[in-house]
Structure 1
Amino acid sequence: MDAVRTLLETQPLLTLFLTVALGYVFGEINIKGVSLGSGAVLFVGLAIGGFAPKSAPPAILGTLGLLLFLYGIGIQYGEQFFKGLTSPDGIKANAAAVLGVVGSGLLAVALVPLVGVKLDESLGMFAGAGTSTASLQAAMAAMKSDGAAVGYSVAYPVGVAGPILFLYALTALLKPNIVRPPPKLIETAEIALTNPAFIGARLSEVVARLPDGVAIAAVRRAHHNHPSADDLVLQANDVLLATATDPAVLREATSLCGELQPGRMTSHREDLDYMRVFASSRLVVGHTLRDIRFPEGMVCSIAHVRRGDADLMPRDDLTLEFGDRVGLLVNRAHMKPIRALFGDSIKGTAELSFISIGIGAALGLLVGLIPVPIPGVGTLALGLAALLLVALMLGRVRRLGPFVWTMPLSANLVLRNFGLTIFLAQVGIASGPKFFATIGVTGVSFLIYGVVILLALLLITAIFCLWVFRLPFDLAVGVICGATGNPAILAFANRVAPTDRPDLGYSMIFPSMTIVKILFVQVAATLAGG
């Protein structure tokens, strides 16, 4: 065993990737339909760190992994974050998380008179239970002692492992019926126009009266197919090629316009034919569909955009990203120049602008260093929470001048999952010695206090999310993840709730709750000092 310990301690990179491999082996173990997934990497890391105390890789590796994860989350969900933040569900989610964080903080402070824990240690346990390194730094600076680090070292592993077990128990108790939503696929209908109310009207006026989510890709008239044009005046018996991702609204549009006549357009391809191209050229990537300029004389219409596993309707404000597959109706003679315009390279599915990533991440790190003055409290720095905020804003902007901030979904998933795995392995190995050493000195008392603080955070947030505000379960678990803070919990939540909502809930909550935790620590330290 000594030889194994020596090997692990002298080869930290070997230890890191061994932890990753063993973590995923244990993570695949399925118990009643639930497995830990990448979250098991942390548990393996704690065990290896306890066995070989000097085996931890440099902390910068874990920070880099967390940076990649947070940046990828922000870039992907920037637009949804800002929309959801002002939505009724977003307001409820933030309210539930604030109540959970403040409630657990008050309980941590109450331990001082109740059981005689020092204030700096209790604030450290609060920071550890909420897995907030920024809060730990704030506590140590405010209290001018390292007692917070002792409480943090015990509560941090509890703060990561506890919510995973809590979500496991909550899922087993409630048995939510969550099914991954089927990918949106484009549906088409060929509709002969017979409604007198639409005859003689411009196409743009007719589209405005159709159900939301319906587009007209082409019009057939006098035995010829024509691309849609807003100023086209419709005539009786024109055939409209309608598209939608919801069959119900397509049926409603058909009943409004006239009657189905399948084959009238698709069987005639001499004027317009269908082609699909990859968006890989900077002439189109980062631009909205309305801003794409086709070569003069080109007869072309965008029918849909496929991103990941879903078809997106061709809205004028839809911004193309690297790797999008664009379905077009185009004259065969123009297919070659259209391919050149879009690039049509499969490499676009993995295209990354490292210039944009470098500038975006550097900007986020710089913002995280800026001290923000809080009257009566002092100053605080947001750290990596600021990086997430910057990434969310860049994800919303999507493109700024020559910089394309977005990345293909496939590349984003690989980048952030790799970063998350490296972070979990490094943090687990590094925390293992402190965890077992502190338990050996304080016994189980600090461990129990950390569990109590964590349970207050989890229970208050869950109760308000699920039973007071009645948020959907998959969104609620994302909010719980954001309130507790650690991305390992989010990785597990994505397994028990396989939709986009856990990521969205996490993104809505994590930056604001990091600020709330820092503020609480500084206010508590200031009031106690006064």
Structure 2
Amino acid sequence: MEYVIALLSQQPLMTLFLVVAFGYLLGEVNIKGFSLGAGAVLFVALFVGWLAPKSAPAPLVGTLGLALFLYCVGIQYGKLFFTGLVSPTGRKANLLALIGLIVAGAAALASMNLFGLKPGYVLGVFAGSGTSTPALQAAMSSLGNSDPAVGYSATYPFGVAGPILVMYLAFFLFKPKIEVPKSAALDFMEIAVRNPDLFGKKLGDVLHMLPSQTEIAAVRHEGRNKFPDPALVLGPDDVLMITSATEAGLEEARKIIGEAAPGKIVMDRSALDYFRVFASKRAVVGTALGDLKIPGGFDYQLVQVTRGDSDLLPRRDLILEFGDRVGLLVNRANAQAVRAFFGDSIKGTADLSYISIGLGMALGLLVGLIPLPIPGLGKLTLGFAGLLLTALVLGYFRRSGGLHWTMPLSANLVLRNLGLTIFLAQVGISCGPKFAEALAESGFLLVFDGVLVLMSLVLPVMIIGMVVFKLPFDEVCGVVGGVTGNPAILMYAGKLTGTEKPDVGYAMIFPGATVMKILFVQIAAAIWGG
């Protein structure tokens, strides 16, 4: 054992990655739907830190990891976050989150006097109950010690399990009716023109008669597949290929046009064929579809854009991102020219600009250094909250001149999870000895305080959201996921409701809730941490 301890102490970088590996192994253990996920890294790190106190990597390693995590979160969710601030649903959701955070913060501060706990422990309890790693870092930085890591570690497990239990009980007791989700993929239907009112009409006039979120991808006219020319005059037995974001849209289009005629267009690929290509060239990424001009003088028809797991209608104002897959109809002879124009490289799913990352993160860290005057407290800097706010703004604008701030979702997830994992491992190893001592002294009290703070956070959101605001159950679950912030909670909410609304709520709430948690612990540390 002495040899193992000596080896871990002499090789802190090796120790860090061992902690990551065994932490994720523990995090995959699933007990009736509950698992710690990335949070298990912290517990393995605490054990290793207790076993080999001198094995902790330099603090800068953890700081870098957290900075990557926050920047990637802001870049990905910037658009949805600012949309949520102005939409009626988004304003209600953010108000719910704010109420929950205020109640939880008040409960945390009250417990400091009620239970006689150290300010650092209480701020760690607040961060752990809300599973907020950025708030943990802000608390440790503001107090200048590792006390918050003790409270965080003691309360983190219930911070993950508690919201899941509350959502399950609410679902069991209220039995809410949840609307069947729309498919993330576009639907297609070939429809033969049978409506006599459409005979002799131009295709452009028919398009205006169709429901919204519905497009004409191709036409079979006089026995030949053609592109949807608005000037084309329709006749009996012509066939239209309709694309729609909903099955209802297709059915409504069928009633207007005629009757389904499956296979009439797709079985004949002599004139038109369907291709999907990756958008991987910088010349096309960041460009609106309406501004794309494929050289060569041949005709083509954009049909869909696949981003992540969702299909999008090819609106003229839709801006391409790295890793998008573009579906289009074109003559097979021109397929190579299309691939050359878009790039069509799978590397586009992981391509990102290190120039943009470097400039964006540097700008965010500079914003975090700006001193803000707080009445009665003096000046307070935003710290990592400034980095997150900057990333949200950059994610909203997506590009500035030739700089693309966004990155493919796959690359974003890798950087984000790697950053969070490294931070948890470094902090846990550093705090191991102190954690064991403090937990032996007041461990049960910290856990009880964590339950109190978590219930103060989650219950107001659930009760006010469903009873007062009368929001759908799946939307409220999204707010709960966003205000608590753990991906495991979001994943459970998605499985429980079967819709995408929890994901949308999480995206609208999580960034702002993270900023509020950071500011709360900084202000509380300035007042009570003395």
TM (norm. structure 1) is 0.85
Amino acid at match of 2:6: T
1:164 aligns with 2:160: yes
Residue aligning to 2:325 = 325
Match of 1:54, SS state, is: helix
Q: 1:334 to 1:502 in 2, by over 3 A?
A: same
Q: Secondary structure at the match of 1:39?
A: helix
| Letter in structure 2 aligned against 1:156 | Y
Equivalent pair of 1:279/1:324 in contact (CA under 8 Å): yes
Tell me whether 331-340 or 152-161 shows the greater mean CA deviation.
Answer: 152-161
- Measured in 2, the distance between the counterparts of 1:218 and 1:134 equals 53
Aligned residue for 1:355, secondary structure, equals: helix
Query: Which residue identity lines up with residue 157 of structure 2 in the other structure?
Result: A
Residue in structure 2 matched with residue 98 of structure 1 by the alignment: 98
Deviations 1:373-407 (A, max 9, x none): 34565433222223223323333322332222222
CA distance in 2, matches of 1:281, 1:270: 29
1:52 maps to 52
1:155 aligns with 2:127: no
Local SS of the residue matching 1:31: coil
Partner of 1:494: 491
1:71 aligns with 2:67: no
Per mean C-alpha deviation after superposition, the further-off stretch among 516-525 and 5-14 is 516-525
Against the structure 1 CA distance between its residues 230 and 283, is the aligned structure 2 distance closer, same or farther, given a 3 Å change threshold?
A: farther
Contact 2:183 2:245 in 1 (8 A): no
Deviations 1:218-277 (A, max 9, x none): 223233332224455555544221112433321221111122233332333332222222
- Aligned residues of 1:36 and 1:492 also touching (Cα < 8 A): no
CA distance in 1, matches of 2:426, 2:267: 59
Shift of 1:348: 1.6
CA contact (8 A) 1:398 1:404 kept: yes
Say if 2:146 and 2:431, in contact at 8 Å, map to a contact too: no
The question of whether the paired residues in 2 share the 8 Å contact of 1:439 and 1:447 is answered with: no
Give the AA of the match of 2:162.
F
Q: CA deviation digits over 1:448-489, x for unaligned, max 9?
A: 54554444334434443455445556654553454356xxx3
Partners of 1:232 and 1:133 in 2: CA distance: 59
* Structure 1 Cα separation of the partners of residues 233 and 378 of structure 2: 66
Q: Partner of 2:385 in structure 1?
A: 385
Segments of structure 1 that go 5 or more residues without pairing to the other structure are: none
Q: Is the 8 A contact 1:195 1:258 kept in 2?
A: yes
Gaps of 5+ in 2: none
Please say if residues 81 and 509 of structure 2, whose CA atoms lie closer than 8 Å, have aligned partners that are also in contact. no
Shift of 1:300: 0.5
> How many angstroms does 1:172 deviate by?
5.1
Specify the alignment match of 1:260 in structure 2: 260
Matched residue, 2:25? 25
Q: 1:496 to 1:185 in 2, by over 3 A?
A: closer
The code of the aligned residue for 2:96 comes to A
Match of 1:272 in 2: 272
Q: What is the rounded CA distance, in whole Å, between the counterparts of 2:367 and 2:150 in structure 1? A: 30
Q: Distance in 2 between matches of 1:104 and 1:184?
A: 36
In the alignment, what sits opposite 1:225? Answer: 225
Contact 1:61-1:423 within 8 A present in 2 as well? yes
String of CA shifts for 1:74-110, please: whole Å, max 9, x gaps. Answer: 3333322222333333222222222222223333443
Contact 1:198 1:234 in 2 (8 A): yes
The aligned residue for residue 408 of structure 2 is 408
Query: In structure 1, how many angstroms separate the alpha carbons of the residues matched to 2:116 and 2:500?
Result: 44
Summarize the Cα distance change of 1:425–1:457 in structure 2 as closer, same or farther, 3 Å threshold. Answer: same
1:38 aligns with 2:34: no
- Counterpart in 2 of 1:83? 83
Shift of 1:135: 8.7
Contact 1:37 1:492 in 2 (8 A): no
Partner of 1:508: 508
Task: Say if 1:367 and 1:386, in contact at 8 Å, map to a contact too.
Answer: yes
TM-score of the two chains, using structure 2 as the length reference: 0.85
Q: Distance in 1 between matches of 2:34 and 2:520?
A: 35
Q: Which amino acid aligns with 1:494?
A: M
Q: Name the residue aligned to 1:357.
A: 357
Q: Trace 1:164-203 onto structure 2 (pairs within 5 A).
A: 164-171=160-167, 173-174=169-170, 184-199=184-199, 202-203=202-203
Deviation at 1:301, TM superposition (A): 0.5
Deviations 1:60-80 (A, max 9, x none): 222222222223333333322
For residues 106-163 of structure 1, the C-alpha deviation after alignment (integer angstroms, 9 at most, x for no partner) is 334434665566778766765675547669868997xxxx5x8576343222453331
Q: Is the 8 A contact 1:129 1:158 kept in 2?
A: no
Partner of 2:421: 421
Shift of residue 353, structure 1, vs aligned partner? 1.8
Partners of 1:92 and 1:361 lie apart in 2 by 31
The corresponding residue for 1:342 is 342
Specify the alignment match of 2:314 in structure 1. 314
Q: CA deviation at 1:522?
A: 7.3
* 1:466-477 aligned within 5 A: 468-469=468-469, 471=471, 475-476=475-476
Q: Give me the CA root mean square deviation.
A: 3.6
Q: In structure 1, what is the Cα distance between the partners aligned to 2:500 and 2:12? A: 35
Note the C-alpha offset of 1:217: 1.0
Contact 1:302 1:329 in 2 (8 A): yes
Shift of 1:299: 0.9
| Range moving further from structure 2, 351-360 or 229-238 | 229-238
